[in-house]
Amino acid sequence: MTLYGETTKMLTVSDLAAMKRAGEKISCLTAYDASFAAVLDNAGIDVLLVGDSLGMVVQGEASTLPVTIDDMVYHGRCVAKTRRRAFLIVDLPFASYALPEQALNNAARLMRESGAQMVKLEGAKPAIVAFLVEQGIPVCGHLGLLPQSVNRLGGYRVQGRDADQAERILADAEALEQAGAGALVLECVPAELAERISRRLAIPVIGIGAGAACDGQVLVLYDMLDIGAGKRPRFSKNFMAGAAGIADAVGRYHAAVKSGEFPGSEHAY
């Protein structure tokens, strides 16, 4: 990429919003290094998410909690080096955004040092989101199953199954949008609730285990390539089955998200 006359235009937050308005599904995968980032970008994946899931799939930890801001900066920078077109979101890790100033310092590091175009944080934190947005930092919310709160939730379980919980998640989603969030990840919620939220919000809603009606889909790369150390979650799919190689599997995922073929009802709750 050169300053002017660049060959490939990087997607922006406005492009993602336009895709939602046009009814075009947004494809997203997690990425943690330069080589995979290049494969994903070449396959046309719209959004690369440097997720703190790297703690589990790259570092071999039992949860995402041990991941540090230095880890996120490092992996974000690796991914940013080879992506040409995809929009880049980097996670704020566990306990790195409890207070506004702390959130700002850490989010600024991700933007400045890793090349993130947007940071993602978990939970109903509209005040923190509003503060970051005011400082010029685009934020993606994350509701439903919150892996950083696994100890409070008592495990990796579907969220929003009962009516009260569902209304709470819907209200939280609206509050995040009002606070200025530019996108929302919805993880492991019933498909019906995800559909309501996706219709209600103007910002793109990217689902993982949240059914087909979301504006986009994200999967953990290693799960969909069937190289995860643990059991593949029910909402994921092995795209390596029948594929000629990794690039082909990623291309198939991209096509399946764009056409609405993935996720099927067997991947939803």
Q: Which of 41, 46, 52, 177 binds ligand KIV (CB under 6 A)?
A: 52
The DSSP secondary structure of 83-96, one letter per residue, reads -SSSEEEEE--TTS
- DSSP three-state, residue 183: strand
29 binds ligand KIV (CB under 6 A): no
Site for ligand KIV in 106-165 (CB under 6 A): none
Q: Which of 185, 191, 210, 249 binds ligand KIV (CB under 6 A)?
A: 185
Annotated catalytic residue within 187, 192, 195, 261: 187
Q: Which two tokens stand for residue 121?
A: 């944080």
Q: Which of 30, 96, 106, 236 binds ligand KIV (CB under 6 A)?
A: 30
In the chain, count H helices and then E strands.
11, 8
Single out the residue of 240, 245, 243 nearest to residue 226, CA to CA. 240
Site for ligand KIV in 227-246 (CB under 6 A): none
**Closest distance of CB 94 from ligand KIV, Å:** 11
Q: What residues form the annotated binding site for 3-methyl-2-oxobutanoate?
A: 52-53, 91, 120
51 binds ligand KIV (CB under 6 A): yes
Helices (H), the chain: 13-22, 34-42, 54-57, 69-82, 100-109, 126-134, 150-153, 163-179, 191-200, 221-224, 246-259
27 binds ligand KIV (CB under 6 A): no
Is 134 designated active site? no
Q: Distance of alpha carbon 207 from its chain centroid, rounded? A: 8
Q: Looking up tokens 């503060």, which residue turns up?
A: 131
**Closest distance of CB 49 from ligand KIV, Å:** 6
91 binds ligand KIV (CB under 6 A): yes
Contacts with ligand KIV, residue ranges (CB under 6 A)? 30, 49, 51-53, 91, 185, 187, 208, 218, 220
